[in-house]
Amino acid sequence: MNLIDQIRLRAQGTAKRIVMPEATEERSLRAADIILQEDLARLILLGNREEISANASHWNLQHIHKAQILDPKDHDRKEFFAQMLFKLRQSKGLRIEQARIMVEDPLYLAVLLIKNGDAEGEVAGANNATGDVLRPAFQIIKTQPGITAVSGAFIMIMPEKTYGDNGLLIFADCAVNPDPSAQELAEIAIATAQTAKNIAGIDPKIAMLSFSTKGSANHPRNDKVIAATQLAKALDPQLKIDGELQADAALVEAIGQKKSPGSPIAGRANVLVFPSLEAGNIAYKLVQRLANAEAIGPVLQGLAAPINDLSRGCSVEDIVNLVAITANQANGI
């Protein structure tokens, strides 16, 4: 059974409540229908009730009636959530009048539902930019204890099985932190190891990537990666990690052993941690397009509740898969 099928099977019947704030959008509603049909999650769909119902019947979707539908502009708990948002953000200067407007935004209502215990997770981003999905999550849900930087990992499934774990690799951070500090990079490495274990089911071997291998070039950008590697080892001495490594030294056995002899990771890495968001985001999109890899994610790591962001170019299947991953994260598996 392939990884996606395993992920979907694990989510089945777990009945986690996942909010989908873009329910009037075609791919999201079609995905919701499949999720409900396969029983991958219970769904709370946010949007205009009449529009959702009309779209569901227009596209002949048979299962949408099983979802709870909530119209952010018209429901009886608007004032309750406005007060809740105001209390959570008044120290940041938010006024109650602003909170009353913000709770009509489905992306804010989604995180407030999670905060209030009405839902366990959220998937959004088919119609909204990453920053607009992440900001409410950062402000209201916050990070897990011990984590300061939320990051985004991609599970990359290569048609060519030569590299990583039989063609399976995890890339991070591809979605959130434009210029992570050494401390943040160390946290990203640790969080990505967890994603590799819990979501992809592999034993993580982490390469901290740069344009240099073990001092072959001298630059402050390499120093940051070296410092991050040391910090990660100090934070988790069990971690299988090495850096700084170039991508070929990380992946290709012969090159790895030549450039970094004796490294337990060089040539065997299955988790690639990139030094910046430019590198991580460009790398995953190039590998996806040029190598025809399947890119699952970004799986957000380090938030206090599972919230995942879609690419606006996502397919219906991408949405279904990310909801299944979110349900599994909510279930702690």
Which chain residues interact with ligand ACO by CB under 6 A? Answer: 92, 130-131, 134-135, 138-139, 143, 149-150, 175-178, 281, 298, 311
Compute the distance between CA of residue 186 and CA of residue 182 in angstroms, rounded to an integer: 6
- Smallest separation (angstroms) from ligand ACO to the CB of 109: 18
Closest alpha carbon to 267 in 233, 242, 293? 242
Closest separation between CB of residue 309 and ligand ACO, Å? 7
Q: Where are the alpha helices (DSSP H) in 201-315?
A: 220-235, 247-251, 253-259, 277-290
Min separation Cβ 297 and ligand ACO, Å: 7
| Chain-centroid distance, C-alpha 171 | 11
Nearer to ligand ACO, 36 or 296 (CB): 296
- Closest CB to ligand ACO among 152 and 267? 152
Shortest CB 132 distance to ligand ACO, Å: 8
Distance between CA atoms of 157 and 191, rounded to whole angstroms?
19
Q: How far is the CB of 163 from ligand ACO (least distance, A)?
A: 22
| Nearest residue (CB) to ligand ACO, 138 versus 211 | 138
Instruction: Closer to ligand ACO by CB, 48 or 194: give it.
Output: 194
Distance in angstroms (rounded) separating the CA atoms of residues 299 and 175: 9
Cβ atoms of 121 and 111 within 8 Å: the answer is no
Enumerate residues 6+ apart whose C-beta is below 8 A from 6: 201
Which of 38, 317 has the CB closer to ligand ACO?
317
Query: What does the alpha-carbon distance between residue 64 and residue 175 come to, in Å, rounded to a whole number?
Result: 31
